[in-house]
Amino acid sequence: MPRPAVNVAVRAARAAGQIILRYMNRIDSLAIVEKQRMDFASEVDRAAEAEIIRELKRAFPGHGILAEESGAHGKGKHIWVIDPLDGTHNYLRGFPHFCVSIALLENGEPMHGVVYDPLRDELFTASRGDGAYLNDRRIRASARIDLNGALLATGFPYRQREHLDAQLGMTRALLGQAEDIRRTGSAALDLAYVANGRFDGYFETGLKPWDMAAGCLLVRESGGRYCDFVGREGIPENGHLIAGGHKVVDAMIKAIAAEITPALAR
């Protein structure tokens, strides 16, 4: 049974998804700003985020918000973490892989999460202790026991290119054991795919809370695990994330150990 907070987040995600789809026919005319090197935002990101915040504040006026485009609004025990359009680069190029990501944190721990792919109308939801679902159907992470035959996903750190050499080393080490690696451009949707068993595992450096909060909860509630590159449990403060089935995560940590720099281990 969906929790009230999830119902509100679903309503907000679907409203944002409608905005995202409505603008798709005029991508060439969108106003785009470069927030930092190779990190872009469009008027669609801002409009979708405003709609999400409006829905959340209407239902939970006392909750704080941490949003990718507008930053922090308020403080407290309950914080909504929002990425209105995860995969902006894909969206602006017409590449059909992006999503809306919304999570509710309680004292820093994800309690409810929604990842919505408006193009495919795929709605991933989870609440702590209640399992993970795709369009109301229960989903499970991969039960693969090692990297043999595994399909992994990753992203390359345009925010933190200083880690690029290490990530290429990790990619090389993992490709030596796994079947293949995909780089799709949406961390939240990749994590939802891990929760659904489409990917066996995921790794990336330099993620932000809005990139991974909802997706991490989906992975955990689907029977998987998430941690940092040296195996510390929980959403990593340093943004260096591994997620997947328990045994695959163990195998990934072991495979990349020789590539982990002191900066990535902190």
pLDDT digits (tens, 9 = 90+) for 163-218: 788 889 999 999 999 999 999 999 999 999 999 999 999 999 999 999 999 999 99
Q: Where, residue-wise, is CATH 3.30.540.10 in the chain? A: 4-138
Q: Where, residue-wise, is CATH 3.40.190.80 in the chain? A: 151-265
User: pTM score, two decimals?
Assistant: 0.93
* CATH of span 151-265: 3.40.190.80
Write the DSSP assignment of 129-160 as a string of letters: TTEEEETTEE-------SSTT-EEEE---SS-
Burial (0-12, 13-18, 19+ Cβ within 10 Å), 260: middle
Fold of 4-138: Fructose-1,6-Bisphosphatase; Chain A, domain 1 (3.30.540)
What number is the average pLDDT over the span 134-162? 90
When the pLDDT of each residue in the chain is averaged and rounded to a whole number, the result is 91
SS3 for 173? Answer: helix
